[in-house]
Amino acid sequence: MSDSSTHSPPCPPNARILFRLPNWLGDVCMALPVVTAIQKKYPQAQFAFLAQPAYLDLLEKLGVEGEKLPLPAKNWRYFFHFLMQRRRFDAQILFTNSERGDLEAWLMRSRQRYGIARPNKGRKLLTQRYTLSGDFDEESYHQTQLWGDFTASFGWHNGLDLTAFQPVEDNASGNASSNVADSTADSVADSVADKAAGAKIGLICGSANTPEKRWPAEYWQALIDELLAREVAQIVLLGTADDAAVCEHIAANAGDARVENRAGKTQLPQLVDTMRGLDCVIGNDTGGLHLANAVGVAVIGLYGHTNPVRCRPIFDAPLTILRPEPPADGSPAGMADIAVAQVVTAVETLLPNDSRAKKISPQGASSQTVQSLRQDDATP
């Protein structure tokens, strides 16, 4: 990787700094520790965020301060929007890797424009580049760590804090109204031995952008049957509008009032509230899984197509990763190779004995636990 000693120093303490956030929810969550580390080091700076409108609403919910600039609609006037922002910012830090993002930054004419350059993409429109060497293996490096190293090399921060977020309503009221530590949860009989009994569990069954990431629908149905047999209090199906149809089908087949389909029915701030009321979220490698982890909820990630070393949830909250062993014939493993019984065992292992009376919160989550069916997929 590049030598930080050759880089120019960052902007002065009161600089105007713009973050260009990624275009996918999971990537936004993985970028947030870097954002907050920079804000911590430069408290006098004026920060702004350029991102999809939905992500700006999420930043407000998480209490991330700064001006919010929504990306414009993609039409013939798209790039004129950035010309109108010319010289407003002293520096831009780009978490994107596209020519379009670089052109946006160039049109805004910030004095310093920071990004990661790869051997096959020089990114000439940037002024400060963190260049990866040709032999650097990104698959063995977590994305947050790479962004952290990139920004630290320019002196932008002094280290990352992976503490999960406490949503703003919780901070204002002093407690979480959606916390499962309520009278309903406490009323569940303590004599129930199974740790899944009485729990509230979220399932993210879809993955709209990559079908290869999806655990088969019939496996989700079988998992629901197993959880219902263990007397869970509630199962909530989560996802985007693109996931609504498959989730509705799964919920209808369950035929149980404890199964509720909320896929496509919540905006991101409301989704945060829903997740904070759950004991555990189980999901494919999706943005929703990262979001649950970012707000301190215990998660179980099902990984087959993607590499958890590079893109697992990163925040300091209980985490289990399940990934299948490759078949003996050498063919690639798929999501169908993760057995329902393995997920059930992960649920019972992850939930504490008193999960019905204690909400897993950022304050109570002291460390991550990564459990993988492949030893080489452990935490990097």
CA distance 160 to 144: 9
Domain ranges of the chain: 4-152, 168-377
User: CATH number of the domain at 168-377, out of 1.10.510.10, 2.40.50.140, 3.40.50.2000, 3.40.630.10?
Assistant: 3.40.50.2000
pLDDT number for residue 167: 78
Angle between helices 53-62 and 268-276 (to 10 degrees): 40
Per-residue pLDDT at 159: 95
Which CATH code for domain 4-152? Answer: 3.40.50.2000
Tokens 């991550």 correspond to 368
Question: What's the confidence (pLDDT) of residue 187?
Answer: 31
The pLDDT value recorded for residue 376 is 36
The pLDDT value recorded for residue 121 is 84
Instruction: For residue 222, give the H/E element and its range.
Output: helix 217-229
Q: Is 366 exposed, middle or buried (0-12, 13-18, 19+ CB in 10 A)?
A: exposed
Q: Any idea what the Cα angle at residue 166 is, between residues 244 and 144, rounded to 5°? A: 75
What's the pTM value of the predicted model, to 2 decimals?
0.84
Signed CA dihedral, 141, 142, 143, 148: sign only: negative
What is the model's pLDDT at position 24? Answer: 94
Per-residue pLDDT of the chain (380 residues; tens, 9 = 90+): 554 444 555 777 889 999 999 999 999 999 999 999 999 999 999 999 999 999 999 999 999 999 999 999 999 999 999 998 888 999 999 999 999 999 999 999 999 999 999 988 889 999 999 999 989 999 999 999 999 999 999 999 999 999 999 877 644 444 443 333 332 233 323 323 355 668 899 999 987 667 788 899 999 999 999 999 988 989 999 999 988 988 999 999 998 999 999 999 999 999 999 999 999 999 999 999 999 999 999 999 999 878 899 999 999 999 999 998 877 776 767 899 999 999 999 999 988 654 433 332 222 333 333 333 233 333 33
Q: How far is CA 250 from CA 51, 139, 260, 285, 289, in A?
A: 33, 34, 10, 19, 19
Q: How far is CA 341 from the centre of its chain?
A: 26
Question: Which pLDDT belongs to residue 11?
Answer: 75
